[in-house]
């Protein structure tokens, strides 16, 4: 019995040492893509550091899936709509984000074709649209940090869907800056990229209930 306890402690000690080795120095994008800790934990890479992502809420998944389905109705090809894909963004060290939904340009979709990892690297064209659904206690991340990061990639539109504040913020890239429009209730969401988009803020937010 004591021998099994010692073996278990030894395995745990090795796991902790390896984890410390991974996080003791900033990680590169290549190291991040090849990283596997043997668990189902999902990570984002933020300034070279692995940040564990909390399990996705049903609400977030429903809203992202609803928008995915709606964009299909707008005749955007399925291969240009991606969930759980990642995009490399600028930071003090290597940083990669995983938006809830991205609408790719044809050029980005072609660049990703055949890639071993679904990651939009710095040398690929940016997506047309990134959508983030705000989770509790993550407002600062979506409204501030990711806004700056996506601006660095000059992503044409960034939508922040906020079920907590019951609003949708549309950021449009204009002359080197994001111009902001906020939609609530029965406000019809307007997009220069997708002029046929005709849903209201309430309709999108209701998808999560």
Please list the residues that pair with 129 across neighbouring strands. 103, 157
Which tens digit of pLDDT belongs to each residue from 58-107? 999 999 999 999 999 999 999 999 998 999 998 767 788 999 999 999 99
> b vs e for 99-122, b when ≥16 Cβ sit within 10 Å of the residue's Cβ?
bbbbbbbeebbebbeeeeeebbee
- The rounded mean pLDDT for the chain is 86
Ramachandran category for residue 70: left, alpha or beta (phi over 0 → left; psi -120 to 50 → alpha): alpha
Which tens digit of pLDDT belongs to each residue from 1-23? 445 434 544 443 444 334 433 44
Give all domains of the chain, ordered by start, each with its CATH number: 2-51 (no CATH), 56-206 (3.90.1570.10)
pLDDT score, position 1: 45
pLDDT score, position 10: 47
pLDDT score, position 118: 87
- Lowest average pLDDT, out of 29-43, 77-91, 157-171, goes to 29-43
Q: Decide if pLDDT at 203 tops 50.
A: yes
- Lowest average pLDDT, out of 44-58, 60-74, 156-170, 177-191, goes to 44-58
pLDDT score, position 24: 60
Task: Determine the Cα–Cα distance for residues 85 and 187; give it in Å rounded to an integer.
Answer: 30
Looking at per-residue pLDDT, the higher value among 14 and 194 belongs to 194
Give how far the C-alpha of residue 52 lies from the chain's centroid of Cα atoms, to the nearest Å. 13
């Amino acid at each position: 019995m004591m021998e099994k306890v010692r073996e278990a402690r030894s395995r745990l000690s090795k796991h902790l040492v390896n984890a410390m080795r991974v996080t003791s120095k900033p990680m590169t994008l290549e190291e991040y893509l090849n990283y596997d800790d043997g668990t189902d934990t999902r990570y984002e890479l933020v300034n070279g550091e692995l940040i564990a992502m909390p399990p996705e809420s049903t609400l977030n998944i429903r809203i992202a899936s609803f928008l995915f389905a709606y964009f299909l109705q707008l005749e955007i090809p399925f291969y240009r709509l991606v969930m759980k894909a990642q995009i490399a963004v600028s930071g003090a060290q290597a940083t990669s984000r995983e938006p809830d939904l991205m609408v790719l340009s044809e050029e980005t979709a072609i660049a990703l074709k055949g890639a071993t990892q679904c990651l939009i690297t710095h040398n690929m064209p940016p997506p047309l649209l990134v959508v983030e659904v705000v989770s509790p206690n993550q407002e600062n991340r979506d409204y501030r940090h990711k806004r700056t990061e996506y601006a660095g990639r000059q992503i044409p539109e960034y939508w922040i869907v906020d079920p907590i504040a019951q609003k949708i913020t549309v950021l449009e890239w204009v002359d080197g800056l994001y111009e902001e429009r906020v939609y609530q209730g029965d406000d019809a969401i307007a997009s220069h990229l997708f002029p046929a988009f005709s849903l209201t803020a309430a309709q999108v937010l209701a998808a999560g209930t």
